[in-house]
Amino acid sequence: GDSVTQMEGPVTLSEEAFLTINCTYTATGYPSLFWYVQYPGEGLQLLLKATKADDKGSNKGFEATYRKETTSFHLEKGSVQVSDSAVYFCALTAGGGADGLTFGKGTHLIIQP
């Protein structure tokens, strides 16, 4: 079945550092890919998405490019802030109308001032 693998955390960085959180997937068909973020005490919020190969999703300085050849959707940000500290989830929905999200385990990001 479909699956998502993302790097284990916690990931600890200093403010203004460059961030990469790796995400790879296995899916049949043509999935849509998502990054969700969860701040403490809150629900999951959509951060960005990409629906076809080579699409780049971006939001709040974060970017991820849908790479079909490497089945990857790595999350990047050029300069992180303390307020970016959260848990980040990579996810996909399979093509063909199925709409349940398949999630990775989540990566806890800690940004130190």
Partner 1 sequence: EPEVTQTPSHQVTQMGQEVILRCVPISNHLYFYWYRQILGQKVEFLVSFYNNEISEKSEIFDDQFSVERPDGSNFTLKIRSTKLEDSAMYFCASSYSSGGANEQFFGPGTRLTVL
Q: Is 84 helix (H, G, I), strand (E, B) or coil?
A: helix
User: Does 23 engage in binding with partner 1 (CB under 8 A)?
Assistant: no
Please give the biggest Cα pair distance in the chain: 45
Q: Where are the beta strands (DSSP E) in 7-106?
A: 11-14, 19-21, 23-26, 32-38, 44-50, 56-59, 62-65, 75-77, 86-93, 102-103
Q: Does 9 bind partner 1 (CB under 8 A)?
A: no
At its nearest, how many Å lie between partner 1 and the CB of residue 53?
13
43 binds partner 1 (CB under 8 A): yes
Which of the ranges 13-21, 40-48, 64-72, 73-81 carries the binding residues for partner 1, by CB under 8 A?
A: 40-48
Q: What span, in angstroms and rounded, lies between the C-alpha atoms of 73 and 53?
A: 10
Binding pattern for the stretch 85-104 against partner 1, x by CB under 8 A and - elsewhere: ----x-x-xxx-xxxxxxxx
Footprint of partner 1 on this chain (CB under 8 A)?
Answer: 4, 30-32, 36, 41-46, 49, 51, 89, 91, 93-95, 97-106
